[in-house]
Structure 1
Amino acid sequence: MPQPWTVVNFNATFVHGVIEEVSPPRWINEVAVEHAVIWTADTNNPAYDKATAQDTERKVFANGIDRIDWLAGDGSVQLELTGTRAVPMSVDTHEARVALFRIRLA
């Protein structure tokens, strides 16, 4: 993480190992930096709309169960979604989603 970002918390949670012909091993990786929050989730529930229930929560993708959402924080950071990508996953028949952000101090 380049300066001036300060990592305030991080966590890697093991979800499951290889499921033959279904899925590669899965981990959920979380990093919290001061002043901004971005998270990912595989909710397996397409009706799941907001993780925080806050009106300022923004969603990268309009549909699907793989989520990338964000809260911009306290206004001291400019967090701008600049684009999205998809990475083909030959093992479990759907694409991995990628969000590209520009994050800078306001």
Structure 2
Amino acid sequence: MKKGIHPDNYRLVAFRDMSNGHTFVTKSAANTRETVKLDDGVEYPLIKIEISNTSHPFYTGKMKLVDTAGRVDKYMNRYKDHLAKNKINRTLFLDLFMSSVFSQLRKRSFYFYNFE
């Protein structure tokens, strides 16, 4: 390995999943100012994360939405004045929006390729 390219502050750090509160300790060089004292009595630097293996649908087997601000929500917030002004039905608008998103994905993705 090359000398001098690896971080010097590689230490034990506590990571906390903010969606369910699960905390685990592993080594990291990430910078943080927050600390947390765990059950073992040791104080660790704390890194807050939005999702981990304890809350991700792939690992839990549950289709729970854990996105704090999804793309559709951001889009709806951006155009909420327009929607209120024109009195468009929210579900109709979402259906149109999602169909346009999936049509764009279908054009760009090989996963939607029709094998017929």
TM-score range, shorter chain: under 0.3
Greater per-residue helix proportion: 2
Q: Higher RCO, 1 or 2 (CA under 8 Å, sep at least 6)?
A: 1
Q: Could you state the TM-score of these two structures normalised by the residue count of structure 1?
A: 0.22
